[in-house]
Amino acid sequence: MTGPVQNLGCLGAKFTEPGHIAVVDLSDPDNPRQIDYPTFHASCDAVARGLVARGLGPGDTVGVYCSNRVEFLEVFYGAMRAGVVPVMMGILNSADTIHWIIDNSDVSIVFCETGLAGNLPADVPGVLVDDDGDDGLSTFKDFGPFEPFQPDADSVAFHAYTSGSTGRPKGVLLSHRAHTWVARTISEDRHFSPEDRMLVAAPLYHKHAMNSIKCVLHGGSTVVLMRKFEARSFVQAINTFKTTILGGVPTIFALILRQRDLIAGQDYSFVRLATIGGAPASDELIDNVAELFPNASINLIFGITETSAALFGSHPESGKRPRHSVGYPMPGNEFRLVDGESEDFGVLHVRGPGMMSGYAKNDAEYNKRMDADGWFNTGDILRRDAEGWYFFVGRSDDMFTSSGHNIYPAEVELVIERLPEVDQAVVVPAPDEIKHTVPYAFVVRQAGSDLDEAAIKQYVLENAPPYQHPRKVIFLPELPMTGVGKIDRRRLESEAVRLKENRS
């Protein structure tokens, strides 16, 4: 990137036409709010002025601790306009974790909802985003013109905290330079425009939703913002607002497809793009989504907080994306696959312009993941085909061994999900005295199915190596999910251990 670094908080600032809607806020579904671009920008400037009036400036940090609503975006982008660093805090975190994040990022003020204020330390003031009183955001704002902070190449824009599945979450430091490039690259690759309306229900404190917002603002599009995902409300929003772009994990799309009474007879030709990320999607799910949205490109996407989502996209010569591919390398990135049986299979290491600047107060972890030459170890296993398309295989943390064989759960899950009566499957390790671990499968059957354990085991034996077949199949009405909408594998792993111990 050449020339001055753009302030990430100013994304979409060129769109100033009154009535051009930036956000449709469905945090109160009975009272939708439509906020146009001039109003949104004025509120962002008012937040920036309010922060400066209280003595905060470049490098200071503030917390953003609320559910999906336009005020989250006003604080997030307004703070960055002042050079103040917003710290995204998950609303499902315990009070202890919130205290730890505040200390880890040196947060001085937290913008939060009234119902969450009790989780804040006594010595950290809260500004209530849903209150019009003296402690509310409307009072905090100072409306008027504002000259945005000019970042340099190393200026941190915001902190995003990882899920912390293996301990305390890590505060990822993300720069203005990196994420203005990310916003432009993804938005242009996916052709966001002022005519687009994107439905977002994933939590804004998670990278998937926040990257979506960046694309919306860069393209001058409209975001239809739900407080949280609920399948029937999601489908109703598609119907009401004619959203052209949808995104979510496979579970979200599987739940959409179950709302047969709401989708029956609807014409969804207006949907042009559906992005599916966070986990592999089965052939049947892809086919069903494509059938429901006949004019939509169905794109599997891949990215992690530390390296951005601007890694893979379209082929430069408009080549047709193979099924299950997460895309073709975007210009500017470098990739290598290591510790695999060939140069086309292994753990993905990345070097590129969208990289993080570090971890908050955790140089040891940063140095462990990032080498001296700028290569970051993602911990994700991918493969590359002869044409250069990449395919996600699984997390290296999820891979387990059985009698010396490496088992990648995603591969077995895709086999099970090819069965017509299976909606979803998750494969996890269970301890075994002889084989070290063996696969257990948790399966959601389609409504009305009487598919049994023996049929699933036999199908996998016929269509995969013998060591991959699940030694036990557990049927569930639905799979447990984390707060960001991903399948909770750790919970299922614990259940597999419990079931194994009870059988012993």
Predicted confidence (pLDDT) at residue 224 exceeds the cutoff of 90: yes
pLDDT digits (tens, 9 = 90+) for 360-377: 999 999 999 999 999 999
CA distances from 236 to 153, 221, 261 (A): 43, 20, 11
pLDDT digits (tens, 9 = 90+) for 124-135: 999 999 999 999
Considering only CA atoms, which of 255, 247, 138, 156 is closest in space to residue 203?
Answer: 247
pLDDT given at position 399: 83
Predicted confidence (pLDDT) at residue 494 exceeds the cutoff of 70: yes
Average pLDDT over residues 36-49: 98
* Residue 156 falls inside a structural domain: no
* Residue 17 falls inside a structural domain: no
For residue 433, what is the domain's CATH number? 3.30.300.30
pLDDT band at 6 (very low <50, low <70, confident <90, very high): very high
Predicted confidence (pLDDT) at residue 166 exceeds the cutoff of 60: no
Query: Cβ distance 99 to 37 under 8 Å?
Result: no
* Residue 126 falls inside a structural domain: no
pLDDT digits (tens, 9 = 90+) for 447-479: 889 999 999 999 999 998 888 999 999 999 999
d(CA 477, CA 288): 20
346 forms bridges with which residues in the sheet? 382
Burial class of residue 294 (count of CB atoms within 10 Å of its CB; 0-12, 13-18, 19+): exposed
Predicted confidence (pLDDT) at residue 484 exceeds the cutoff of 70: no
pLDDT band at 287 (very low <50, low <70, confident <90, very high): very high
pLDDT band at 430 (very low <50, low <70, confident <90, very high): very high
Query: Cβ distance 73 to 40 under 8 Å?
Result: yes
Average pLDDT over residues 291-298: 96
d(CA 210, CA 229): 15
Q: Is 360 left (phi over 0), alpha (psi -120 to 50) or beta?
A: beta
Tally of domains in the chain? 1
pLDDT given at position 169: 86
pLDDT band at 504 (very low <50, low <70, confident <90, very high): low
pTM (2 decimals)?
A: 0.85
Give residue 422's domain range.
Answer: 398-503
pLDDT band at 333 (very low <50, low <70, confident <90, very high): very high
pLDDT band at 163 (very low <50, low <70, confident <90, very high): low
pLDDT given at position 167: 66
Considering only CA atoms, which of 492, 482, 475 is closest in space to residue 252?
Answer: 482
Query: Cβ distance 167 to 152 under 8 Å?
Result: no
Predicted confidence (pLDDT) at residue 9 exceeds the cutoff of 90: yes
* Residue 410 falls inside a structural domain: yes
pLDDT band at 283 (very low <50, low <70, confident <90, very high): confident
Predicted confidence (pLDDT) at residue 486 exceeds the cutoff of 70: yes
pLDDT band at 435 (very low <50, low <70, confident <90, very high): confident
pLDDT given at position 337: 96
Instruction: Report the first-to-last Cα separation within the chain, whole angstroms.
Output: 60
Tokens describing residue 430: 């269970």
Helix count and strand count (H, E) for the chain: 14, 25
Query: Cβ distance 13 to 43 under 8 Å?
Result: no
* Residue 268 falls inside a structural domain: no
Average pLDDT, the chain: 92
pLDDT given at position 165: 47
pLDDT band at 304 (very low <50, low <70, confident <90, very high): confident
* Residue 431 falls inside a structural domain: yes
336 forms bridges with which residues in the sheet? 349
Predicted confidence (pLDDT) at residue 1 exceeds the cutoff of 70: no
* Residue 56 falls inside a structural domain: no
CA distances from 307 to 123, 172, 211 (A): 34, 10, 12
* Residue 470 falls inside a structural domain: yes
Predicted confidence (pLDDT) at residue 444 exceeds the cutoff of 60: yes
With a pLDDT cut of 90, the percent of the chain lying above it is 76
CA distances from 386 to 313, 322, 328, 344, 347 (A): 17, 12, 12, 9, 18
Q: What is the CA radius of gyration of the chain?
A: 23
